[in-house]
Amino acid sequence: MAGYLLLSLIMFIIFISMMVSLASFSKKTAVEVKQNSVLTLKLDQAIPDRTSENPLGDMDFFSMKSNKVMGLDHLLKTIDNAANNDKIKGIFLDLTDIPSGMATIEEVRNALLQFKKSGKFIISYSDDYTQRAYYLATVADKVYLNPQGCVGIKGLAAELMFFKGTLEKLDIQTQIIRHGKFKSAVEPYILDKMSQANREQYQKLLDVLWQQMVDGIATQRKIATEDLNLMADSLKIQLGEDAVKNKLVDKLLYRDEVLTELRAKLGVNEKDDINFISAAKFFKVKGKEKISIGKKKIALVYAIGQIGVGEGDEREIGSDKLSESIRLARNDSSVKAIVLRINSPGGSALASEVIWREVVWRKKLNPW
């Protein structure tokens, strides 16, 4: 009996803690943006396509704290709002690595380029730039680097693991059904090296991505694409001094020296604190409302994660749920078009067929 009461008490305490944490998480506190503020972007966590609406989805039940990460949708809106907020004077990119895909980084980069049209500054600093972080940093008016740091300009590569030999040693036979020589997902189980078709498509993908990065860096840093390719091929950038000499960064500075530069930009005294505000906090500030005129709408439908049968969730595409979302938009007379935003590695052929049918049916009813 005593053990049962003790267990009940513990469960009650845990329940109360969860409710208090949830209440504090959902409570909307007013955020004040001070004059002469600087928006800080770290981007040191993977950026999902959209911010989770589930208050418990990213909850750490050990610490009873939320690990909620801002999604790309909120991040882009935050950057746009910063451009239109008179109290925000610029953006500080505090970067090292950005654990997100190139498509996401490209969208953030484009948003920052748009932000610059407002006339506000962007300053970037890192102790050590990875290649992805540096690509984003090149949108900045000034790119600074720790004197002991470096810039990772080394090109792109792809590596695959092959399990055919392991499976043979374990006397495991694979039965594969595939169509087309470029359907290479199963190759690691039936080959011991890349097929020519797979090598061709990987090479094309890497070439396109690298050319996009090189062109973007060349445009912002006023460096010839030939020179950037030479830096990558020869691993020419080994030290911070190499990065300055080759115009990849503007100066080698320690963090306190960068803060001095920021104070000069803001016109404040050396001893004054800089009014930094994080993206998560600034998003809570109500931006200027964009009034929508008319009743015609464009529906934005997200398809994120692996494709499967059923309802799915925020991290997995469910054929039933996604089809229903498209169907609701199709039956809404005010919706004149649907944007289907897909970020998926693929998945079930059956589930894909169900979703495809709904999309095709939508086009037949109202071809764009």
pTM score: 0.84
Statement: 297-365 belongs to CATH 3.90.226.10:
yes
Closest CA to 115 of 19, 209, 39, 198: 39
Low-confidence ranges of the chain (pLDDT < 50): 22, 25-26, 59, 61, 63-64
DSSP-assigned letters across all residues of 276-338: EEEHHHHHTS-----PPPSS-EEEEEEEESEEESS-EETTEEEHHHHHHHHHHHHH-TTEEEE
Q: Which CATH class is domain 30-153+237-283?
A: alpha beta
**What pLDDT, on the 0 to 100 scale, is given for residue 179?**
80
**What pLDDT, on the 0 to 100 scale, is given for residue 290?**
58
**What pLDDT, on the 0 to 100 scale, is given for residue 337?**
86
**What pLDDT, on the 0 to 100 scale, is given for residue 56?**
54
**What pLDDT, on the 0 to 100 scale, is given for residue 25?**
46
Closest CA to 249 of 151, 152, 154: 151
The residues of the chain that CATH labels 3.90.226.10 are: 30-153+237-283, 297-365
Q: Which residue has the tokens 């999309």?
A: 359
Q: Which residue has the tokens 């009461």?
A: 5
